[in-house]
Structure 1
Amino acid sequence: MARQLSLPALLCGLVLAAVLSFGAATADAQEREIRCGMCHKDVQFDSTAHADVACKDCHTNVTSPRHKAEDLADLSGDAMCAQCHTMAPRAVGRSVHADQVGCMDCHGDAHSMLKNDDLTSPMSPVGQVQVCGDCHRGQEGGGDLINAFVESVHGRGLLRSGLTASPTCSTCHGGHMVFPVEHERSPTSFKNSPEMCGDCHQYIYDEWLNVSAHGAAWQAGDTSTATCIDCHESHSIKDPTVGLDRLHMADECGDCHGDLYNTYRGGFHGKATDLGLVTSATCSDCHTPHSTLGQDDPRSSIHPDNLQAMCGECHGDVTMAFASFNPHINPNSPDDNFYVFIIAMAMHALVIGVFGFFGIHAILWLQRGIVGHMRGEFLGHHSPSNTYVRRFKKRDISMHKLIIVTFLLLAATGLPLKFAHAPWAHTLMAWFGGVENTMFLHRVAAIGTFGYFVWHLVVLIRRLAAGEKGLFWGPNSMTPQLKDGKDIVAMFKYFLYMGPRPAGDRWTYWEKFDYLAVFWGMMIIGGSGLMLWFPNFFTEILPLPGWALNAAYVVHSEEALLATGFIFLFHFFHTHLRPESFPLDPVVFTGSQPIERFKDERPLEYQRMVEEGTLEDHIVPAPTKEQMRSIHFWGFVAVAIGLALAVGIFTALLIY
């Protein structure tokens, strides 16, 4: 009968076997050190992964200490390794590296090979980046992939923060069994990549898989849906919650949702993120990043029942009307909102009409002015004079200076948002210290604009209360009258050499247009700006529907284009750049102009002053040279800024 071994006896046997085995390995190592080391003194083997492996275990073809050097090469490196590591060479042979990469290409020289968990090993997490880069950096696009990984959140965690748990090459692509990226057995394929990422990001993977529309589509085999690497890329993965990296996530969503991406970029949120406002909403802020669902799903963040809570995360306690604002509206499509469409078409027509009329007006005037200058028709305009006629009071000069400063600041801080796609917009934003500073300055300029508007209304009311006549009718009034219509016709005849220039009075028709445009602008651009500044007030107190905010955005944007374009092109031309005035008309700064020019441009007003005996009351001393130098300097600065912004508008419209 066979004897059964007791547990103590069995344990003693195992310990004895281990001791004998270790003793044999030690003996082999000693033999190697004594026999092989006599010749191969340069081989340092004790600190490697194979410290307990005898020389003859690898060099099985060497049978005598007196071997020839070529005997060592009879056995290839891979075959040598395969004697112990039987599975690894077979795996490599079925991988993308078959017949291309040997064991020592990755693991290093056999005599200095280290264990993978040794931080100095070529196959350590850090070492893999260099080893894989040695080959893949030389391939087409390879350098970009390796460099992208180094700068990614994974690469920074591994190489800069020393987090060895961060993913490295083999984490995603496998060790020995590396397949092409889209191979069905590759961890990086469409079928397998979510699970691969889920190995580390388990909670996010579960949320994406079980809640989001993308995860449901992936499980159903829809190859057009988005997986982890579609949104986060593969090698250049950034932290989507930090700084500018989160703002670029919209570009990833736009790869699939092109129409929605375009409308997002056309709205405030998209333009603000394009300019670097990190607090502005991007796709994941509204739609959630990993539990994205359709609008009809009650669990969706954009379901009507959840909109107030979603919008309130950024905007506080918002009304339902505010939450119904459509961030993806296309104002040029009647299908999105018919009211907004009508308003947008009306604004487009206004911009085209004004630019069209005054564009033709300016071109014809320019050619007629050049001819008149060559004929010597404006000699009196540029000749020195000691007699000046006062046209504006000090109050008017101060008010116009305030208008210049606030308007230029409004344009310089508002146009970059309208044309956020243009490179110069980013430059301007940087000059102002970023989007938030720019928005602050824009609102300061808006307050100044409302200030001078109220100031002017108070002046008008006081003049009316004092019994001043002619404020609303007559030659001194800014109200358009029948003569203005006749002057327009006569002016075009003058442009076409069909008649004399119409006799001017206190105000010309283009000056009245400039003046009344301020009133129009304050109602349109000022009112729409206040709606965008205080949306909760206008949707709760008034209350207005959410689409009114969409309409306000369209109106504010188009009116800003109309106002800036008109001032910088046509107002500047009418006032400063036409041959009669070029290069600058200082009258609005001095408050007066030479009597020769006054008689030529405004003969009706001059004649009326003579007949009423009031001309002498308006005669003032000529400005000093110091005053004129200061006026020309600041005047040229203002005109230069305006013209530079005008160039920016045209380049943004025509090029970008």
Structure 2
Amino acid sequence: MSDSIKTKNKVRVNNPATWLITGIVLTTMSLLWQTDAMAATNPATDKLDDATCLSCHSKAITLPAEEDADEDEAPPRIAAVHDEKIEKGVHSGMSCTTCHKEIVDNNAAHKKTGIGKPDCAGCHRDAWRTIQSENLISEKARMVIVVQNAEAYKESFHAKSAGKEGVKASCDDCHHTHDFNVPPRGTSKRTEWQLTIPNVCGDKCHDDTLEDYVDSVHGKEVMEEHNLKAAVCTDCHTTHDITKTSQDPFKLSITSRCGNCHEENYLSYTSTLHGQINKLGYSFTAKCYDCHGSHDILKVDDPDSMVSEENRLETCQECHDGKKMPKAIASMMSFGPHATGEDFNKYPQTYIATKFMHGLFIFVFAYFWAHSLLWWQREYKDRKRGIGPQHIRTDEILQGKAVQIRRFGLIWRIGHLLFAISVMLLILTGMTVFYSYSAWAPYVMRALGGPEISGLIHRVSAAVMLGIFFLHLIGVSINIYRNRKTFRWFGPDSLVPNWKDFRDAWGMFRWFAGKGPRPVFDRWTYWEKFDYWAVFWGMGVIGGSGMMLAFPHVTAQILPGWIFNVIMVVHGEEAFLAAVFLFTVHFFNNHFRPDKIPPPDIVMFTGTQSLDEFRRDHAMQYLRLVESGELEKYLVDAPSKPMTIGSRILGIVLLACGLALLTIVVIGFFSGNAPHG
């Protein structure tokens, strides 16, 4: 019986079902043990948090190569993320999935949603909206800068597509997003950070450029001397709104960026034609890097520098190559691209020219503004006391008829009108360049159609003005030749100054002071003669210097290069003198004296003048014509009403234009940063 019981209690080890059940139990227990072991060593596996991510990403990960990758192409890698660096960065308070929203599980081959890769700009933009809605702007002021930078980046050259590689440079290429932090200004950390910028740009993308930079004057100062004042990549190219160097936005802004460090050189550059038209939107002109180089800039006294004496001509000929512009020649090399009128030791010719023009300003304006002011107060006092203009009592000729006396013929009037219009256009286009730094200059230049159109208007106007001037000279010469037997160079009909003019000028000042009577004038008053001969001076100085600038290759065949510095000073300063004189002294003498109010005086448009005014202003000629019996041949019918109205409208328009030009010139003069020191 006991044997039978023993037999019943024995396990049937040879039964297949027993083996199957045993295997299942052991396998289940093994799996449960492994899970418990992993849970014991890595408790974060059941959730998607930073610890989970760092369990893999604390070391670099090599990804499988793409199917279409080249054999020599290294497989893609994910850089290691170090927890201690994250803690020091600006994103330390954020979790991994705040940015990596596309990750939804913690498997090695992550399951991803349809959301794209991290979008730095979008994230900061969303954060900014939250800050605004919660009224936290004052507490999060730096976010304003971040959002502005992000928006600038979106429009930059770096954000442009680079094919399958995505954008040319992403935020992470420069900022190392996981541990990024901009140290405060003035700290040693800030110094260390700024000194790494060339390597950040060069090692990542621009390796050839970095090679040039490290040997340049800027690179040596940064890399060897740790000089924070020396230029790094971002000083010239900016940080976020980087533009393509071959396009206008970069070419039109680079000089001012150089000027952030080289202030004096920038100011002197902007007083030259190169700098003036570049500032107004013309990119095809010499900029800092055209002459000095860009990444490989060397000191000026370095024999290998682009602007050394040995290389300067070749550098200039890069632009002045004889094709689009006249070819630069050796005699031009004494031209000073940064010459100013304040340094006699370096630029004596420019200094002397500048001081001469300033002395001329003082003399002309001191005399004529005093003359105008005294004249105004004397006529004003006379009118207030009821003292009318002086008259010479004579019998009226053709009494009862509306007659006037003819002073200027048709040719004189047409010439004056064209001359006035051309001069105003020259002042508008020329002073816009001369005062290119003024707030109004860019607006005027855009209204004119840009520097190229403005330059064309300037040259056409100059041709018209010079043409009228030379035609006048020819006409005067013919008239003198025809009347050579009777013409008197210092007679009453001549515009050549004589002793009477000096006596009249002295007499006017005595009259201003109430010490004598008002002088009696002949056909031409001394101020009319001054206006006339001022044109000859202006044509010689402004026109002559303008022609020399228009044909530099011809000028350089005869004169040294520094002459261009001198004539640029003279051309601009004399134009300023002419503009201010015309629109103050000339306008006052002819339109704004109390006896001329209301303006305008239309004698230069109708050609005629009332007998009353003629007797008052040109009494000696009037008496002479009466005594000789020639007065009647100069008498003409008064201009028609339409002619009078049209002349007044034209006069008002020209006066308004002149005063508007005077306003912008004065604003330019007082805007600071005046050309040539």
Shift of 1:169: 1.8
Q: How does 1:568-583 map to 2 (within 5 A)?
A: 568-582=583-597, 583=599
Q: Which residue of 1 aligns with 2:294?
A: 289
Shift of 1:347: 0.9
The C-alpha deviation readout for 1:263-316, integer Å capped at 9, x for no partner, is 011111111111111112211111111111122222211111222221122222
Of 215, 221, 235, which residue of structure 1 is paired with 2:219?
A: 215
Q: Is the 1:388–1:622 Cα contact (8 Å) retained in structure 2? A: yes
Q: Which residue of 1 aligns with 2:121?
A: 129
Greater Cα offset, 434-443 or 140-149: 140-149
Q: Is the 1:292–1:300 Cα contact (8 Å) retained in structure 2? A: yes
Q: Which residue of 1 aligns with 2:554?
A: 537
Q: Which residue of 1 aligns with 2:279?
A: 274
Greater Cα offset, 161-170 or 516-525: 161-170
Shift of 1:123: 4.4
TM-score under structure 1 normalisation? 0.83
Listed as ranges, the gaps of 5+ residues in structure 2 are 1-26, 60-80, 132-139, 322-326, 392-399, 673-677
Of 331, 349, 360, which residue of structure 1 is paired with 2:359?
A: 349
Structure 2 residue 69 is the aligned partner of structure 1 residue 77: no
- Compared with structure 1, are the counterparts of its residues 504 and 234 closer, same or farther at alpha carbon in structure 2 (3 Å cutoff)? same
Q: How does 1:56-67 map to 2 (within 5 A)?
A: none
Q: Which residue of 2 aligns with 1:476?
A: 493
Q: Which residue of 1 aligns with 2:176?
A: 174
Of 630, 640, 651, which residue of structure 2 is paired with 1:624?
A: 640
Counterpart of 1:326, as a letter, is G
Q: How does 1:557-572 map to 2 (within 5 A)?
A: 557-572=572-587
Shift of 1:78: 2.5
Q: Is the 1:106–1:122 Cα contact (8 Å) retained in structure 2? A: no
CA distance in 2, matches of 1:591, 1:59: 108
TM-score under structure 2 normalisation? 0.80
Structure 2 residue 245 is the aligned partner of structure 1 residue 232: no
- Compared with structure 1, are the counterparts of its residues 161 and 82 closer, same or farther at alpha carbon in structure 2 (3 Å cutoff)? closer
Listed as ranges, the gaps of 5+ residues in structure 1 are 1-26, 32-52, 64-71
Shift of 1:566: 0.5
Of 505, 524, 533, which residue of structure 1 is paired with 2:541?
A: 524
What SS is found at the alignment partner of 1:571?
helix
What SS is found at the alignment partner of 1:573?
helix
Q: Is the 2:292–2:305 Cα contact (8 Å) retained in structure 1? A: yes
Q: How does 1:496-507 map to 2 (within 5 A)?
A: 496-507=513-524
CA distance in 2, matches of 1:113, 1:123: 17
Q: How does 1:387-406 map to 2 (within 5 A)?
A: 387-406=403-422
Shift of 1:435: 0.8
- Compared with structure 1, are the counterparts of its residues 607 and 155 closer, same or farther at alpha carbon in structure 2 (3 Å cutoff)? closer
What SS is found at the alignment partner of 1:420?
coil
Q: Which residue of 2 aligns with 1:192?
A: 196
CA distance in 2, matches of 1:233, 1:62: 43
Q: How does 1:148-547 map to 2 (within 5 A)?
A: 148-152=149-153, 155=156, 157-158=158-159, 164-181=166-183, 189-198=193-202, 199-210=204-215, 212-223=216-227, 224-316=229-321, 317-378=327-388, 386-468=402-484, 469-470=486-487, 472-540=489-557, 543-547=558-562
Question: Number of paired residues?
Answer: 589
Counterpart of 1:559, as a letter, is E
What SS is found at the alignment partner of 1:593?
strand
Q: Is the 1:331–1:341 Cα contact (8 Å) retained in structure 2? A: yes
Q: Is the 2:157–2:242 Cα contact (8 Å) retained in structure 1? A: no
Q: Which has the higher contact order (CA 8 A, sep 6+)?
A: 2
- Compared with structure 1, are the counterparts of its residues 393 and 113 closer, same or farther at alpha carbon in structure 2 (3 Å cutoff)? farther
Greater Cα offset, 128-137 or 442-451: 128-137
- Compared with structure 1, are the counterparts of its residues 412 and 175 closer, same or farther at alpha carbon in structure 2 (3 Å cutoff)? closer
Q: How does 1:25-44 map to 2 (within 5 A)?
A: none
Counterpart of 1:369, as a letter, is E
Shift of 1:240: 3.1
CA distance in 1, matches of 2:638, 2:195: 84
CA distance in 1, matches of 2:110, 2:523: 91
Counterpart of 1:604, as a letter, is M
Q: Is the 2:339–2:350 Cα contact (8 Å) retained in structure 1? A: no
Q: How does 1:131-150 map to 2 (within 5 A)?
A: 131-134=123-126, 139-150=140-151
The C-alpha deviation readout for 1:361-384, integer Å capped at 9, x for no partner, is 111112222223333445799xx9
Shift of 1:513: 0.7
Counterpart of 2:604, as a letter, is V
Structure 2 residue 614 is the aligned partner of structure 1 residue 604: no
CA distance in 1, matches of 2:128, 2:441: 39
- Compared with structure 1, are the counterparts of its residues 194 and 121 closer, same or farther at alpha carbon in structure 2 (3 Å cutoff)? farther
CA distance in 2, matches of 1:575, 1:281: 44
What SS is found at the alignment partner of 1:290?
coil
CA distance in 1, matches of 2:452, 2:348: 33
What SS is found at the alignment partner of 1:266?
coil
Greater Cα offset, 155-164 or 390-399: 155-164
How many percent of aligned residue pairs carry the same amino acid?
A: 32
Q: Is the 2:103–2:113 Cα contact (8 Å) retained in structure 1? A: no
Greater Cα offset, 275-284 or 237-246: 237-246
CA distance in 1, matches of 2:49, 2:154: 37
What SS is found at the alignment partner of 1:648?
helix
Shift of 1:151: 2.9
CA distance in 2, matches of 1:601, 1:260: 54
Q: Which has the larger radius of gyration?
A: 2
CA distance in 1, matches of 2:425, 2:89: 61
The alignment's C-alpha RMSD in Å is 3.2
Greater Cα offset, 464-473 or 490-499: 464-473
Q: Which residue of 1 aligns with 2:566?
A: 551
Shift of 1:120: 5.9
CA distance in 2, matches of 1:98, 1:478: 83
CA distance in 1, matches of 2:658, 2:421: 11
CA distance in 2, matches of 1:611, 1:120: 106
Q: Is the 1:92–1:98 Cα contact (8 Å) retained in structure 2? A: no
Shift of 1:245: 2.5
What SS is found at the alignment partner of 2:294?
coil
CA distance in 1, matches of 2:157, 2:495: 67
Shift of 1:430: 1.5
- Compared with structure 1, are the counterparts of its residues 624 and 173 closer, same or farther at alpha carbon in structure 2 (3 Å cutoff)? same
CA distance in 1, matches of 2:311, 2:401: 72
Shift of 1:558: 0.7
The C-alpha deviation readout for 1:183-214, integer Å capped at 9, x for no partner, is 8889982221111101211221111123x211
CA distance in 2, matches of 1:420, 1:366: 35
Shift of 1:405: 1.5
Q: Is the 1:244–1:276 Cα contact (8 Å) retained in structure 2? A: no
Shift of 1:515: 0.4
Counterpart of 2:564, as a letter, is L
- Compared with structure 1, are the counterparts of its residues 160 and 357 closer, same or farther at alpha carbon in structure 2 (3 Å cutoff)? farther
CA distance in 2, matches of 1:350, 1:116: 82
Q: Which residue of 1 aligns with 2:83?
A: 90
